[in-house]
């Protein structure tokens, strides 16, 4: 599994996490390029089915990243998302999928270095877990 390159799907908030990722790129902060990002206006818009669909489509891990609590441009979107993410982790455990394959983080527009650290940690965790077992059942 030394040559395993994980497929990570990131769903990131337009206002904070996307801007933090952009800052990391602009500042030339190095982080793994194994992440495929989808930008949403708010993590409060992220449905649990989006995450499950990412796994069904072959993702080895999924990351949802948004504004810090109290900084959401839509007031409480990140609180709503966080509640849903606890349910996703519970569902993943119930279907036999390691819940460490999914993570929610909070990165602001000024935290480019934190974005890079989060990406490195997510990639490391997924590499330790190996390929998603759901890929084995894909038709």
Residue 2 placed within a domain: no
Please give the pLDDT value at position 34.
Answer: 81
Residues, the chain, total?
139
13 within a domain of the structure (yes/no): yes
State the residue for tokens 């994980």: 6
Containing structural domain, residue 94:
8-137
Total number of domains in the chain: 1
Decide if 12 is inside a domain: yes
Q: Is residue 84 part of a domain?
A: yes
Question: CA 69, CA 71: separation in Å to the nearest integer?
Answer: 6
41-99 pLDDT per residue, tens: 999 999 999 999 999 999 999 999 999 999 999 999 999 999 999 999 999 999 999 99
- Is the residue at 94 inside a domain? yes
What pLDDT does residue 76 have? 95
**CATH number, domain containing residue 97:** 3.40.50
- Give pTM, 2 decimals: 0.93
Closest CA to 31 of 127, 114, 111, 130: 114
Residue 1 lies in a domain: no
């Amino acid at each position: 599994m030394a040559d395993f390159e994980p497929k990570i799907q990131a769903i990131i908030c337009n206002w904070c996490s996307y801007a933090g990722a952009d800052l990391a790129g602009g500042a030339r902060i190095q982080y793994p390029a194994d992440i495929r990002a989808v930008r949403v206006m708010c993590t409060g818009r992220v449905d649990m089915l989006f995450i499950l669909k990412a796994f069904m489509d072959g993702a080895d891990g999924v990351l949802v990243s948004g504004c810090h609590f109290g900084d959401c441009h839509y007031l409480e979107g990140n609180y709503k998302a966080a509640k849903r993410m606890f349910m996703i982790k519970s569902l993943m455990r119930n279907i036999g999928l390691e819940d460490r394959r999914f993570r929610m983080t909070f990165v602001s527009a000024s935290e480019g270095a934190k974005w890079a650290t989060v990406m490195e940690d997510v990639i490391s965790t997924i590499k330790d877990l190996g390929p998603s077992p759901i890929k084995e059942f894909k038709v």
